[in-house]
């Protein structure tokens, strides 16, 4: 078996871990830690959907099968804090499939999903590409979110341009109404969900070590 994924292996979607949590909770630093240290002795690749979108926006040019109109739409999503709905999910699918191909993952590896899916309709679409086997739910109050972002507790906010108070409030509202229902969605499917409380200075290593013990 080579490191490349074979056609036979694609019959069963790649196993994945899913990070869920509000903006500012530290998903990106946690994803980077997980990629560097693995999960229970196995390789773990970090798919940061927000970073992938920002990368396309910064390039300002189409990627893969995406068009110029798609790039313009991605810019709108980022500036308005909107979510990809059913009719534009192909953008997410293109970026996720590119990550899987570029990572040359095997069936023993995990993909750590960060920022995708963001709502139940996306979760159903993601199921055709990847198989979520465990959910890590990072719980953090709005007050702690604002403090973490203000202090840049995760060390990943310096280059962010979408951390104005009104933008944070909008993203928190979207998270509560659209993303949090994913917790019950996965629990109802029998997929384990691990809840971990995140404080102002909670570090990725502490979160990941607790998660690996579940």
Mean pLDDT of the region 181-201: 96
- Identify each DSSP E strand in the chain by its residue range: 14-20, 44-48, 110-114, 130-139, 193-197
Q: Encode pLDDT of 130-168 as tens digits.
A: 999 999 999 999 999 999 999 988 888 887 777 888 989
The pLDDT of residue 40 is above 90: yes
Q: Encode pLDDT of 69-121 as tens digits.
A: 999 999 988 888 778 888 999 999 999 999 999 998 888 899 999 999 999 99
Closest CA to 89 of 117, 112, 55, 52: 117
Residue 11: pLDDT band with limits 50, 70, 90: low
* Cα gap 95→145, rounded to integer Å: 28
Contact 183, 124 (CB under 8 A): no
With respect to CATH, is domain 9-208 assigned 3.40.50.300? yes
Residue 159: predicted pLDDT: 75
Lowest mean pLDDT among 84-88, 155-159, 191-195, 203-207: 155-159
Q: For the chain, which residues make up each domain, given as ranges?
A: 9-208
Residue 137: predicted pLDDT: 98
């Amino acid at each position: 078996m080579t490191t490349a994924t074979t056609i036979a292996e694609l019959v069963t979607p790649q196993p994945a871990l899913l990070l869920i949590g509000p903006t500012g909770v530290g998903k990106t630093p946690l994803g980077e830690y997980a990629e560097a240290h693995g999960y229970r002795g196995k390789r773990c690749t970090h798919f940061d959907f927000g970073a992938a979108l920002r990368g396309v926006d910064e390039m300002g040019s189409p990627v893969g099968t995406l068009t110029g109109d798609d790039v313009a739409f991605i810019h709108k999503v980022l500036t308005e804090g909107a979510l990809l709905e059913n009719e534009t999910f192909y953008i997410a699918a293109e970026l996720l499939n590119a990550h899987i191909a570029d990572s040359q993952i095997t069936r023993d590896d995990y993909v750590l999903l960060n920022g995708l899916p963001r709502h139940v309709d996306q979760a159903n679409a993601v199921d055709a590409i990847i198989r979520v086997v465990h959910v890590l739910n990072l719980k953090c109050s709005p007050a702690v979110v604002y403090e973490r972002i203000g202090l840049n507790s995760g060390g990943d906010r310096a280059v962010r341009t979408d951390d104005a108070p009104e933008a944070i409030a909008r993203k928190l509202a979207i998270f509560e109404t659209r993303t949090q229902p994913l917790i019950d969605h996965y629990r109802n499917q029998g997929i384990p969900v691990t809840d971990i409380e995140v404080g102002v200075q909670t570090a990725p290593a502490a979160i990941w070590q607790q998660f690996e013990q579940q």
